[in-house]
Amino acid sequence: MSEAHDPAPGTPPPSGRPATLALALFGYTVARMLLVVVIAAVILFGGKLVGVDVPFLVAAVFGVLIALPLGMYLFKSLRLKVNGEIAAIEADRRARHDDLQSRLRGDK
Protein backbone atom coordinates (compact mmCIF):
# COMPACT_ATOMS: atom_id res chain seq x y z
CA MET A 1 0.00 0.00 0.00
CA SER A 2 2.82 2.38 0.78
CA GLU A 3 4.91 2.76 -2.33
CA ALA A 4 7.58 5.39 -2.89
CA HIS A 5 6.57 8.18 -5.21
CA ASP A 6 9.08 8.64 -8.02
CA PRO A 7 8.85 11.68 -10.27
CA ALA A 8 7.86 11.02 -13.84
CA PRO A 9 10.72 10.16 -16.18
CA GLY A 10 12.12 13.23 -17.85
CA THR A 11 10.96 15.49 -15.02
CA PRO A 12 13.80 17.74 -13.87
CA PRO A 13 14.70 17.49 -10.21
CA PRO A 14 13.33 20.27 -8.03
CA SER A 15 15.56 23.32 -8.34
CA GLY A 16 14.79 24.87 -4.98
CA ARG A 17 17.06 23.58 -2.24
CA PRO A 18 17.12 25.01 1.28
CA ALA A 19 20.94 24.97 1.28
CA THR A 20 21.04 27.02 -1.92
CA LEU A 21 18.53 29.46 -0.46
CA ALA A 22 20.55 29.73 2.74
CA LEU A 23 23.73 30.44 0.79
CA ALA A 24 22.04 33.06 -1.40
CA LEU A 25 20.42 34.69 1.64
CA PHE A 26 23.74 34.69 3.50
CA GLY A 27 25.50 36.37 0.57
CA TYR A 28 22.79 39.02 0.25
CA THR A 29 22.82 39.71 4.00
CA VAL A 30 26.61 40.00 4.16
CA ALA A 31 26.64 42.33 1.16
CA ARG A 32 24.01 44.59 2.73
CA MET A 33 25.83 44.64 6.08
CA LEU A 34 29.14 45.48 4.42
CA LEU A 35 27.45 48.35 2.62
CA VAL A 36 26.22 49.72 5.97
CA VAL A 37 29.74 49.44 7.41
CA VAL A 38 31.31 51.19 4.40
CA ILE A 39 28.77 54.03 4.46
CA ALA A 40 29.15 54.49 8.22
CA ALA A 41 32.94 54.54 7.84
CA VAL A 42 32.69 57.14 5.07
CA ILE A 43 30.50 59.29 7.31
CA LEU A 44 32.84 58.91 10.30
CA PHE A 45 36.08 59.56 8.46
CA GLY A 46 34.56 62.12 6.10
CA GLY A 47 33.46 64.09 9.13
CA LYS A 48 36.96 63.93 10.58
CA LEU A 49 38.41 65.19 7.28
CA VAL A 50 36.25 68.32 7.45
CA GLY A 51 36.86 68.77 11.18
CA VAL A 52 33.52 67.50 12.50
CA ASP A 53 33.39 64.84 15.20
CA VAL A 54 30.49 62.55 14.19
CA PRO A 55 29.34 60.15 16.93
CA PHE A 56 29.54 56.48 16.02
CA LEU A 57 25.83 55.88 16.67
CA VAL A 58 24.83 58.75 14.39
CA ALA A 59 27.10 57.43 11.62
CA ALA A 60 25.66 53.91 12.08
CA VAL A 61 22.06 55.13 11.91
CA PHE A 62 22.71 57.20 8.81
CA GLY A 63 24.64 54.27 7.34
CA VAL A 64 21.59 52.04 7.76
CA LEU A 65 19.20 54.66 6.39
CA ILE A 66 21.33 55.32 3.32
CA ALA A 67 22.12 51.64 2.73
CA LEU A 68 18.46 50.53 2.69
CA PRO A 69 17.51 51.92 -0.74
CA LEU A 70 21.05 51.85 -2.09
CA GLY A 71 21.44 48.14 -1.28
CA MET A 72 18.23 47.26 -3.06
CA TYR A 73 19.56 48.95 -6.17
CA LEU A 74 23.19 47.78 -5.97
CA PHE A 75 22.43 44.17 -5.04
CA LYS A 76 19.41 43.63 -7.27
CA SER A 77 20.84 40.43 -8.77
CA LEU A 78 21.44 38.93 -5.31
CA ARG A 79 17.91 39.89 -4.22
CA LEU A 80 16.40 38.36 -7.35
CA LYS A 81 18.39 35.17 -6.76
CA VAL A 82 17.01 34.90 -3.20
CA ASN A 83 13.48 35.54 -4.50
CA GLY A 84 13.93 32.89 -7.20
CA GLU A 85 15.14 30.32 -4.67
CA ILE A 86 12.17 31.04 -2.42
CA ALA A 87 9.80 30.67 -5.37
CA ALA A 88 11.42 27.37 -6.40
CA ILE A 89 11.16 25.94 -2.90
CA GLU A 90 7.54 27.08 -2.64
CA ALA A 91 6.70 25.55 -6.05
CA ASP A 92 8.30 22.27 -5.01
CA ARG A 93 6.41 22.31 -1.72
CA ARG A 94 3.14 23.09 -3.50
CA ALA A 95 3.72 20.26 -6.01
CA ARG A 96 4.40 17.78 -3.21
CA HIS A 97 1.30 18.99 -1.37
CA ASP A 98 -0.89 18.65 -4.46
CA ASP A 99 0.54 15.20 -5.15
CA LEU A 100 -0.19 14.10 -1.58
CA GLN A 101 -3.72 15.47 -1.77
CA SER A 102 -4.41 13.65 -5.04
CA ARG A 103 -3.03 10.38 -3.62
CA LEU A 104 -5.19 10.78 -0.52
CA ARG A 105 -8.24 11.25 -2.76
CA GLY A 106 -7.21 8.14 -4.68
CA ASP A 107 -6.62 9.90 -7.98
CA LYS A 108 -3.18 8.37 -8.54
Task: List the domain boundaries for the chain.
Answer: 18-105
Torsion of CA 35, 38, 41, 46, to 10 degrees: -110
Q: In whole angstroms, give the CA distance from residue 39 to residue 28.
A: 17
Give the pLDDT confidence of 83-103 residue by residue, as tens digits: 999 999 999 999 999 999 999
Give the pLDDT confidence of 8-43 residue by residue, as tens digits: 444 444 556 888 999 999 999 999 999 999 999 999
pTM above 0.85, yes or no: no
- Looking at residue 107, what is its pLDDT? 81
